[in-house]
Structure 1
Amino acid sequence: MNKFIYPLLLRYQNFCSHLKHFDGIAALSLRLFLVPVFWMAGSNKLAHFADTVEWFGNPDWGLGLPFPTLMATLATSAELGGAILLALGLATRWISIPLMITMLVAIFTVHLPNGWQAIADPQAPFANMQVMESAEKLEKAREILMTYGNYDWLTSSGSFVILNNGIEFAATYFVMLLALIVLGGGRYVSVDYWLNHWIEKFHSEK
């Protein structure tokens, strides 16, 4: 049996040794996915900064956070700066930390009361009562639109849904950032890699 298994193990090991040269692709993919997410979030906050500050501080219809101007500035800076650094693969592990903090703040201050789902789907796992009740509302909305509106035109770009605004997206981004803390910017495809490569070369030549 060993004479069959051992050659397979050697081939697998050889395959893995060559695969390591492509392990930067995973980190690059995560970075490129997150760049537009944080750039758009930061740009929207910056474009409506006064409204952002008011939303951060208002206890009635906002987040009710202390020092709203400071908090809004930190969140906006982290998202815009984070998007730029992630695009470059520069200080990837360091910038992932404040971005993870912004995701935790978003989860616990905005999305958690709505449960898991971002888009309400009563058939999906983790559907809470709010999501279950959305089915009747969505069906009633469809009936109204089919009766009084051009339903085919209204749905030509996609189906109507109810936004549940749960933690799904924020939690997903948090996990992706956690992976980047472990992976870094990625072999060959980040400024971090080449800076580290240059530093190691410099020290080896001293």
Structure 2
Amino acid sequence: MVVLLRAYYFVQDHFFALFRPLEFLAPLLIRLYLAPIMIAAGLYKLYHLEDTINWFNHGLGLPEPEIMAYLASYTELVGGFLLLFGLATRWACIPLMVTMLVAAYTVHWDNGWFAIAPSNPATSTAKPLADVGVPLAQQSLENSVQVGKRLQRARELLMEHGNYNWLTEKGGFAVLNNGIEFAATYFIMLLTLFFTGAGRWLSLDYYLDTQARGLVEAKNAAS
């Protein structure tokens, strides 16, 4: 057994060592994925600021809706640009994660997990959990059955009374469930950046940190 373990870790350590020069790609791609999402969300809120304030006030019942609207808008907008350039990345992730938590709890929590409701219980990601008896997963599968029936009826109506081919040429119809899936996914990605940082080479953090540490070391050496 010891020989097998040594062989396994020898191969693993040497194999994955080949990819260390490419470690910067993972945080870079996460940043490039999240940045336009956050920037677009922030710009939309600012362009429709009155609607955002009304939604925060009457729709979500948040305290100080005007302040909250400004905070959410600029957190997403400024945070998105910071992620894009890899500047103060870890610091930017903190308010963005708070925003995702607030959104998940106030907007999406009551709608369950899925952003788009599955319409086929057999292929739903809730099925493995339902098979082992998780109640919420079983409820999700029951919801999928109802979603499937409604989508099928909608297709029948559209095929009979509408130009179905034109309506679906850009994509199929789905039932928006508006659950916490996207907010949770963005939170996890931000949490990853919080621990890893922006990555080497293609981030301002890397170069600023290199310069700053070089200055500190030079000053220490001089003193």
- Which residues in structure 2 correspond to 1:51-70 (within 5 Å)? 51-58=51-58, 62-70=59-67
What are the superposed Cα offsets for residues 35-84 of structure 1, whole Å, 9 maximum, x if unpaired? Answer: 111111111101100010011011xxx00000001000000000000110
Partner SS state of residue 158, structure 1: coil
What TM-score comes out, normalization by structure 2 length?
Answer: 0.84
Contact 1:24 1:188 in 2 (8 A): yes
Residue 145 of structure 1 pairs with residue 158 of structure 2: yes
User: Which residue matches 2:95?
Assistant: 98
CA distance in 2, matches of 1:6, 1:147: 67
- Which residues in structure 2 correspond to 1:185-204 (within 5 Å)? 185-204=198-217
Give the drift of 1:19. 2.5
What TM-score comes out, normalization by structure 1 length?
Answer: 0.90
Equivalent position amino acid for 1:186 in 2: G
User: Which residue matches 2:40?
Assistant: 40
CA distance in 2, matches of 1:3, 1:164: 52
Give the drift of 1:129. 5.3
What are the superposed Cα offsets for residues 20-44 of structure 1, whole Å, 9 maximum, x if unpaired? Answer: 2221110001000001111111111
What are the superposed Cα offsets for residues 107-156 of structure 1, whole Å, 9 maximum, x if unpaired? Answer: 11010111011111142114265554322221221111010011112111
How well do the aligned residues superpose, as a CA RMSD in angstroms?
2.1
- Which residues in structure 2 correspond to 1:1-206 (within 5 Å)? 10=10, 12-58=12-58, 62-122=59-119, 123=121, 124=124, 125=126, 126=137, 127=140, 130-206=143-219
Partner SS state of residue 202, structure 2: coil
Q: CA 1:136–1:187 in structure 2 vs 1: closer, same or farther (change >3 Å)?
A: same
CA distance in 2, matches of 1:4, 1:114: 48
CA distance in 2, matches of 1:3, 1:163: 54
CA distance in 1, matches of 2:44, 2:72: 11
Give the drift of 1:17. 3.8
Q: CA 1:81–1:140 in structure 2 vs 1: closer, same or farther (change >3 Å)?
A: same
Partner SS state of residue 93, structure 1: helix
Q: Which runs of 5+ in 1 are unaligned?
A: none
Contact 1:31 1:87 in 2 (8 A): yes
Equivalent position amino acid for 1:185 in 2: A
CA distance in 2, matches of 1:4, 1:167: 43
Q: CA 1:133–1:7 in structure 2 vs 1: closer, same or farther (change >3 Å)?
A: closer
Give the drift of 1:16. 3.7
CA distance in 2, matches of 1:79, 1:28: 18
Q: Percent identity?
A: 46
Q: CA 1:5–1:117 in structure 2 vs 1: closer, same or farther (change >3 Å)?
A: closer
Contact 1:25 1:186 in 2 (8 A): yes
Q: CA 1:67–1:132 in structure 2 vs 1: closer, same or farther (change >3 Å)?
A: farther
